[in-house]
Structure 1
Amino acid sequence: MTFAGEVKNAVTVRAALLVVGVLALQLLFIASYVGALHRPDATDVPFGVVAPRQTSQQLVTRLDDLPGGPLDPRAVSDAAEAQKKVMNRDLDGVLIVDPQGTTDTLLVASGGGTVLANTLVKIIERAEAPQHRTVRTVDVAPASPDDFNGLSSFYLVVGWCVGGYLCASILAISAGAKPANRQRALIRTGVMALYSIAGGIGGGVGSYIERNGGLTTVELPQAGPDSGGRAPDSVAGIAARALPGVVTLHVSGSAESGTGTGFVLDSKGHILTNNHVVAPAGSAGHITVTFSGGETASAEIVGKDSGYDLAVVKVRGVSGLKPLALGNSDNVRVGDPVVAIGAPFDLSNTVTSGIISAKQRPITAGGEKGDGSDVSYVDALQTDAPINPGNSGGPLVDTQARVIGINSAIRAADSGTGLDGGQSGSIGLGFAIPVNQAKRVAEELINTGKATHPVIGVTLDMQYTGDGAKVGGKSADGTSAVTPGGPADKAGIKAGDVITQVQGQRVHSGEELIIKIRAHRPGDRLDLRLTRGGEERSMTLTLGSASGS
């Protein structure tokens, strides 16, 4: 006899009624649950509105008149009360209107029903769209993994109902079976019980998948590769053009070592850097140059000058050099964007950006020897592009990747202004030697091995604390502070005169006067203003020349 025939003979009226009853109850449960899921389609969903009085009443009326009338809107006094009502489930949602802007806030609680919360969001977004307003949704009581709401519960209910129905049906069949068929019926009952358990497991698996997004590993969305092109005047575009011409210098000597930066000047292998970068090499040290692509070469010093803090080294046997173009520092304006490239803390090919913060900033650095022979005087460009130890000698470039300055010094929070040989970091105050000055010095170092310094032929009183630069009474060797036959002597400057202006720019100290003079070339004519015995005078002199060190 077939299984269907056995079932027909085994089923009694009592068993059939039991099966029908269980089925009806479970179908009723499913229907009520599905109805709860679609609650927003019903009317009178409690909903709050927080808005100015007139706007609030208009909005309540507009929401109440939505097609189908799904919401039962009412005014709420303030946002705090509204949030409390939503969290307590007194309201299913609250719209908080921003009277000053066009973005309103919708408070929902997905812990009270994920589908309900999502449907409310869609209803309010549709209602706000014609008013040209947008909605920002805030879930004040999110659903937790233990909340039986949304599709997770639905999966469990379906699994339980199917399994329960099968169990009840088989029990009914077994109860009504004849003795001869009881053994078979019990076997089938066991088999069907396994199907019931499988149904429950299926519900659990469905719940897990719905809550966790699947059984596979998570793969996050990501943008695909782009062409790599960048605007030429962007920081990335500038860096791409300048980096091939920037090098890192590793310098070692008998007593000390250090790291700095430089950049290629020409195809012959000349590289410009700071004097204080190569100073540790002394006369018998070693300098290794590392190019941006990782190639290395040994270098030798061509010439250096401590007064300008500049040096030129040269590599040999290196092909494919990429010299950087030189700009014009006289064209630079405060606020111009700039990019600094170097090896801060030996991190080669580091790119930072900023602006020109100031021009003609008088900076002195060095002086460790105590006799003034290693002091550098710079009429610097100031930048907020981060510069750190190791950036020294690196280029400061404009938006066309042209060098406008040589990064040389920083002002650290704990040590004042100084060369970046210490370990203090950037606070946004970096200083660069203007390229116009560096170009002249580099040419002289390459051509003659030495640089010339413009001089006026006076010895200054560096202890003078008044405003201006005072000409001393005597020089260090006891002779006159004004060099006989020198530029100052020819112009009529006397011992004790206080120079207050150079080319119309104020001078406040002896250091500033040296810096202003160093910004010019030997042979340039300068207009000076000075005071003598309380009387102001104007003079013009032609700068002389002296060899640097």
Structure 2
Amino acid sequence: MSNQWTPFPHDDEQPSGRSQGESPQQPQQSYGQDDTQAISTSSTGSTGWSASNGPGPSAGHTATYAPLPPPAAETPRRTGRTLSAAVLAGALVLGGAAGVGGAAAYDALNGNGSVSSSNGPDISASNRNASASNTGGSAEAVASKVLPSVVQINVTGSGESGSGSGIVLSKDGLILTNNHVASVAGDNGSMRVDFDGGTSAPAKLVGADPVTDLAVIKASGVDDAVPAEIGKSSGLKVGENVVAIGSPYGLGATVTSGIVSALNRAVSVQSSESDGGQSQQQDPFGLGEQLQQQSQQQDQTTTYPAIQTDAAINPGNSGGPLVNLAGQVVGINSSIRTSGSGSSGSIGLGFAIPMDEVLPIVNQLKNGETATHAQLGVSVRDNQSSSRPGALVATTTSGGAAADAGIEKGDVITKVDDVEVSGSDSLVATIRGHRPGDEVKIQLYRDGKEQTVTAKLGSDGGGSDS
């Protein structure tokens, strides 16, 4: 049984002439041989998703997951589609703009469409107690507080247009969104931000990181935007009430509510599909030859320890906030799982990137730096032993964190700190939740005997070879 997370389609993206109505993608063999996945400089995703890591299909069924794409409109829309990756049958989709091909467009974002970095203070999480009493404990109170800080991002690219969501970070117009939303603009496209008060402004890219599917943009000529209060995702509890805000299907200022269904859910969203070992990058934004030239180096898997929620998240929600009842942003809505049959709507399985992972990347991007990610330095695959699920080490990188900690080929990693590791995706997602330099305790089995080692995680140096 194989499961794959892939990008969401745009909300106005029509099924005809697209690939989202086709059968689910096959697992992408991006790392090593067979089902081996590398947790290298960027700890990127694996070739498959273990059913034990999250909601899985019945035996014999292949589920595909994708970033929230703009909703696939069945009726004509006046304003174009909402941005997100193409939704595939049974897909976990990204909730906002670009979707499939989002990572492939990344290089173009660093051209004339970018702006200089911000010299303002780093964005930090609030130290205020995350008590529901701060907003009265109701979705109504949360909406009243947070709506002024949520924007709709309208993006026009090469032959494509759509909309996603974003979160205001500063009074002068810094905005956080998903990379698969911002990347639609490409080199010669444009972005325009609609604020809650009815005003709008053009925006430019400040920085983007396809590895974590995050981007920071800046609205021009703005000095009175309302920054959102940032919270700490580490304080979330399963069953806690949360609110999702964004622009599903281009419907701005939409508020939905639900609970935290699970934490640390290993989610891998791939920007391309593989068939018979050949990369088949989709081109939902009409990048044509440019996309083909970039596809090999730009194929990207975003793997993260997601916050799972049953709050309704749909194409166009990508980049919008998941908020606790204190009115604090605790996650970035990014993907959903759909029911298949070409449907891209919510079935109560939405996923958000935790703010504790987001903030360090955001501050690097806003300061003009290249985003860095924790590195363990191993290639792994799912352990096939039913008696001991975990991540089977296929190779280690000489001088890497794993090798220095004494981890060897053939070891089965079953836990990192207090987080159970059920497979390769699970390990990747867990490492993704850490930063370079963090020390983690790794529980593993070697020759049937349990061992615990301490590893100091390395850095990918912003994507450079180790």
**TM-score with structure 1 setting the length:** 0.53
Q: CA deviation at 1:373?
A: 3.8
Q: Structure 1: state its 5+ residue gaps.
A: 1-229, 416-421, 473-480
Specify the alignment match of 1:368 in structure 2: 272
1:344 aligned residue: 248
Aligned amino acid, residue 468 of structure 1: G
Cα contact 1:265–1:271 (8 A) shared by 2: yes
| Structure of higher CA gyration radius | 1
How far apart, CA to CA, are the structure 2 residues paired with 1:404 and 1:243?
A: 15
Counterpart of 1:269, as a letter, is G
How far off is 1:255 after superposition?
4.5
Residue pairs, 1:135-146, within 5 angstroms = none
Summarize the Cα distance change of 1:240–1:538 in structure 2 as closer, same or farther, 3 Å threshold.
same
Q: Is the 8 A contact 1:255 1:280 kept in 2?
A: no
Aligned counterparts of 1:258 and 1:543: Cα–Cα separation in 2: 39
Deviation at 1:232, TM superposition (A): 4.0
Measure, in 1, the Cα distance between the counterparts of 2:381 and 2:235. 34
Report the Cα distance in structure 1 between the residues aligned to 2:236 and 2:197, rounded to whole angstroms.
Answer: 30
- AA aligned to 2:414 is T
What is the CA–CA distance in structure 1 between the aligned matches of 2:192 and 2:152, rounded to whole Å? Answer: 8
Task: Please give the alpha-carbon distance, in whole angstroms, between the structure 2 residues aligned to 1:333 and 1:339.
Answer: 14
Does residue 507 in structure 1 map to residue 429 in structure 2?
no
Cα pair 1:356 1:383 within 8 Å, conserved: yes
Task: State the SS of the aligned residue for 2:146.
Answer: helix
Q: 1:385 aligned to 295, 308, 311, which one?
A: 311
Q: Which residue of 2 aligns with 1:233?
A: 137
Q: Which residue of 2 aligns with 1:441?
A: 361
1:305 maps onto 2:209 in alignment: yes
Name the structure 2 match of 1:468: 390
Please give the alpha-carbon distance, in whole angstroms, between the structure 2 residues aligned to 1:489 and 1:257. Answer: 47
| SS of aligned partner of 2:452 | strand
Instruction: Give identity over the alignment, percent.
Output: 46
1:331 equivalent to 2:235? Answer yes
Q: Which amino acid aligns with 2:311?
A: A
Task: Kindly provide the CA deviation profile for residues 396-451 of structure 1, in whole angstroms up to 9, marking residues without a partner as x.
Answer: 11112110111111111117xxxxxx851111111111111111111111123421
**Does the aligned pair in 2 maintain the 1:500–1:506 contact within 8 Å?**
yes
| 2:344 corresponds to 1:424 | yes
1:486 maps to 400
Task: Tell me if the contact between 1:307 and 1:548 (Cα under 8 Å) persists in the aligned partners.
Answer: no
The answer as to whether partners of 1:501 and 1:528 remain within 8 angstroms in 2 is yes
Distance 2:425 2:380 in 1: 9
> Which string of whole-angstrom CA distances, capped at 9 and with x for unpartnered residues, describes residues 443-481 of structure 1?
11112342111011122246x544211222xxxxxxxx3
1:356 offset after TM fit, Å?
1.2
Larger proportion of helix: 1
Contact 1:302 1:449 survives alignment (8 Å) = no
SS in structure 2 opposite 1:409? Answer: strand
Q: Aligned partner of 1:307: which letter?
A: V
Q: Aligned residue for 1:517? A: 431
CA shift in 2, pair 1:506/1:443, >3 Å: same
Q: Distance in 2 between matches of 1:502 and 1:256?
A: 42
Letter in 1 for 2:313: I
Aligned to 2:412: 498
Matches of 1:427 and 1:377 in 2, distance apart? 21
Structure-2 separation of matches of 1:279 and 1:484: 35
Residue 545 of structure 1: CA displacement? 0.5
Structure 1 residue 405 corresponds to structure 2 residue 405:
no
State the distance in 1 between where 2:309 and 2:221 align.
36
Q: Name the count of aligned residue pairs.
A: 305
- Secondary structure of the structure 1 residue equivalent to 2:440: strand
Deviations 1:91-138 (A, max 9, x none): xxxxxxxxxxxxxxxxxxxxxxxxxxxxxxxxxxxxxxxxxxxxxxxx
> Tell me, what secondary structure is at the counterpart of 1:452?
coil
Q: State the Cα deviation string for residues 234-274 of structure 1 (Å, max 9, x = none).
A: 22221111111100011121143321100101123210011
Mapping for residues 226-305 of structure 1, pairs under 5 Å = 232-305=136-209
CA contact (8 A) 2:172 2:223 kept: no
CA distance in 1 between partners of 2:368 and 2:455 (Å): 27
Q: Aligned-pair RMSD on alpha carbons?
A: 2.0
Return the letter of the residue paired with 1:487: A
User: What's 1:13 paired with?
Assistant: none
The answer to whether the 8 Å contact 2:135/2:327 transfers is: no
Deviation at 1:311, TM superposition (A): 0.9
Query: Aligned pair in 2 of structure 1 residues 492, 324: CA closer, same or farther (>3 Å)?
Result: same
AA matched with 1:362? A
- Provide closer, same or farther for how the CA distance between residues 508 and 350 of structure 1 changes in structure 2, counting only shifts above 3 A: same
Q: Is the 8 A contact 2:309 2:351 kept in 1?
A: yes
